[in-house]
Amino acid sequence: MQIEFYKYQGTGNDFVMIDNRSNFFPKDDVKLIERLCDRRFGIGADGLILLENDSETDFRMVYYNSDGNQSSMCGNGGRCLVAFANNLGVIDDKTTFIATDGLHHASVGDDAIVSLQMIDVDEVQKKDSYTFLNTGSPHHVQIVDDLEHYNVKENGAAIRYGELYGQKGSNVNFVKKVDDSTFSLRTYERGVEDETLACGTGATAVAIAMNAIGETDKTSINLNVEGGKLVVSFDKSGDHFTNVFLTGPAKFVFKGTIEI
């Protein structure tokens, strides 16, 4: 059987997109999803996303990591899915859709810029050497020296599989402050089990964490990721963060068919 797929990327976080409004896709086939995401034996991507019908919103987002397992929210994937839905004609320039963490509002602007509302954050765990919070996916945030040369894969894996987060694990972000409005980050992604070029829920977590621990008092923060630039803005009241928006490019790369 041949399936049609579309490839999108958001600041280098790349995804296979499949229009599953007819429900044809074998959603429980972990091996198949892993193979489609494989960069040698398949299309190659950090994750796979299904666009499905939903009775109450414009569409449903179903997200899988490249290991083939369904997972929690993907911010860059959500932004890319909005661009995909726009290109398919499912939505115009504004949308509300449902994902695993609830409803999301989003808009498509000029130059393939997509702005996505993320979940509110009501709990930020501040520890001596790191911060932990959930922005739709779990994120460990840690400031490090020499981010450019930091071994993200080795140190990220040690934290992700370490005693802090147990079986479930966490995504792990290493951060450097550039100035009051700007932070650089590199992310180890759970389910990809490697550094990716960007992580949207990770960038969101870093922006909120840096504000929560007093590294900045800004509520609109620029994030330099390996694959480009993102902006995260929010309203703050104590440790409650609302109207959280993740903004950046979400681009079509190519489409094709693959034998499954």
Ligand X SMILES: N[C@@H](CCC[C@H](N)C(=O)O)C(=O)O
Interface residues with ligand X (CB under 6 A)? 13, 46, 65, 71-72, 74-77, 137, 171, 189-192, 199-201
Cβ distance to ligand X smaller for residue 42 or 200: 200
Residue 65 assigned to a binding site? yes
Whether 199 is a known active-site residue: answer yes
Q: How far is the CB of 190 from ligand X (least distance, A)?
A: 4
Cβ distance to ligand X smaller for residue 86 or 201: 201
User: Which one is catalytic: 43, 48, 74, 121?
Assistant: 74
Cβ distance to ligand X smaller for residue 156 or 200: 200
CA angle 214, 176, 213 (to 5 degrees): 15
Whether 37 is a known active-site residue: answer no
d(CA 206, CA 182): 11
**Binding site feature residues:** 13, 65, 75-76, 171, 189-190, 200-201
**Binding site feature residues for substrate:** 13, 65, 75-76, 171, 189-190, 200-201
Q: Which are the catalytic amino acids? A: 74, 199
